[in-house]
Amino acid sequence: MFSYEIIQSFNDIELSLYRYIMKNIGKVSYMRIRELADEAHVSTTTILRFCKKVNCEGYSEFKIKLKMHVERNEFEKVNNDTSVIVDFFKKLDNSELDRKLNILCDNIKQASNIIFIGAGTSGILCKYAARYFSSIGKFAMYIDDPYFPRNSKFYEDSIIIAISVSGETHSVIDHISNLKRENSTVVSITNTENCTIAKISDLNISYYIQQEKLGISDITTQIPVLYIIESIGKRLHNKFI
């Protein structure tokens, strides 16, 4: 209901109103416009302008949508069905996955550097992956900062392993586009091969698991990604010791 773009459009008074609504979201949907104006210390005109900015024709429609928003968030349940994980492991007996992992290990052997790139939860997994690879004897680093410096010859002949559930993270796409100019090989680990990051990669490993969101937060399980990371590391160690 309150998207980033909408919040960005608020002026200082509207932001003050927004903060009041979010702190008292349970009771605002039952308040009259004059009551809200008095409580939030704004005018009724400000409230009506606020309603327009959140795509409501008036205060009545705003209260209805706000109430629906509250109820949806209160009753939204997180899927705790482990069948998606079980199904993933059942699909692991896959010669195509083995082929891709072997190609990746060969590429890593020839690369000067290994760099994991990701953002958000995937960025945390990149940190884990770099630590895991380093622990088995293959030093790696990670980038989880969209503003990390890129203009360096350090990236030449590196292998870039991008991790992203959606495969549409703008900062990661931007990084990949720039690093490909440095003769880096780009490998991506994504939920599906039909995404931008997969399409601009030299090699893609996709795991196809049900994506799950809670509001705007992506809470898709990362177990397949952890499995792939550790499989690559162990295979790499066993292949080249």
| Alpha-helical segments (H) within the chain | 4-9, 12-23, 25-28, 33-40, 44-53, 59-75, 83-90, 95-110, 121-135, 170-179, 196-199, 223-240
pLDDT (average), residues 18-25: 88
Q: Quick one: pLDDT band at residue 233, thresholds 50, 70, 90?
A: very high
Q: What is the overall mean pLDDT for the chain?
A: 85
Q: Are strands 185-190 and 159-164 parallel, antiparallel or unpaired?
A: parallel
183-193: per-residue pLDDT in tens? 789 999 998 88
pLDDT (average), residues 71-90: 64
Buried b (16+ CB within 10 A) or exposed e, 23-53: eeeeebbebebeebbeebebeeebbbbbbee
Q: Quick one: pLDDT band at residue 122, thresholds 50, 70, 90?
A: very high
128-170: per-residue pLDDT in tens? 999 999 998 889 999 998 778 766 667 777 899 999 999 998 8
Confirm whether pTM is higher than 0.95. no
- Express as a percent the part of the chain with pLDDT over 70: 88
40-77: per-residue pLDDT in tens? 999 999 999 999 999 999 999 999 988 887 776 654 55
Residue ranges and CATH numbers for the domains of the chain are: 4-75 (1.10.10.10), 83-240 (3.40.50.10490)
Neighbours of 58 (CB within 10 A): 12
